[in-house]
Amino acid sequence: MKITVKLIGPFVQLFGFSEKELDVPAGTTADGLIDLVSIDRSRPKIVTRNGRAVVPDEALAEGDRVVISPIYSGG
């Protein structure tokens, strides 16, 4: 299934892309996607799926837009 991944803030520079479409196996979870894009699991972050926060074991679906961001604190 096709998933769009968007990185936010310094993750863009640290992990080498801003946004890309990935073809991932059906049943891939949010945490599984983190591994696929090689982001350290221990790095504090907030992951959203179509604009709403997800839990790590939440299964993704075809066409999802997943955004991975550092935890900002609002300046």
Partner 1 sequence: MNGWTGQILRVNLTAKTYKTETFSEEFARKWIGGRGFAVKILYDELAPGIDPLGPDNKFIVALGPIAGIPAPNTGKAVVAGKSPSTGGYGDGNLGTRVAEQLRKAGYDALVVEGRAAGPTMLYIEDGKVEFLPADAVWGKGTYETNDWIYARYGKGVGVLNIGQAGENLVRYAVVRSLEGRAGGRTGMGAVMGSKLLKAVVVKGTKPIPQADPAGMKKVGTDDLREVHKIDKEQGWSIQSTNGVLAWCNEVAALPVRNFRKTHHPDAWKVDGERLNDARIATYGCPNCTMRCGITIHDQEGRESELDYENIGLLGPNLEIFDLPAVGSLNYLCDDYGIDTMSGGCVLSFYADAIDRGAVAGSYGFGDVPGSKRLLGEIALRSTDIGNVLAEGSMRAARKFGRGSIDYAMQVKGLEVAAYNCKFIPGMALAFGVSPIGAHHKESWVITFELKQSVRESYGPEKAQKVIDLQRIRGGLFEYIVACRFPWIEVGWSLENYPKYFKLVSGLDWTLDDFWTISDRIYSMIKLFWLREYPQTDRKLDYPPAVWFDPANVDTEGPIAGKHLEYDKYDGLLQHYYDLRGYDRRGIPTKATLERLGVAEEGRAAEKFGKLS
Question: With respect to partner 1, which residue has the nearer C-beta, 1 or 8?
Answer: 8
| Closest CB 42 distance from partner 1, rounded Å | 12
Q: Which residues bind partner 1 (CB under 8 A)?
A: 6, 8-14, 18, 44, 46, 48, 50-53, 65, 67, 69-75
Q: Which is nearer to partner 1, 27 or 53 (CB)?
A: 53
How far is it, in rounded angstroms, from Cα 59 to Cα 73?
Answer: 27
Instruction: Evaluate whether 71 touches 11 at the Cβ level (below 8 Å).
Output: no
Q: Which helix (H) or strand (E) holds 12?
A: helix 10-15
Interatomic CA distance for residues 67 and 19, integer angstroms: 9
What is the nearest approach in angstroms of partner 1 to the Cβ of residue 28? 20
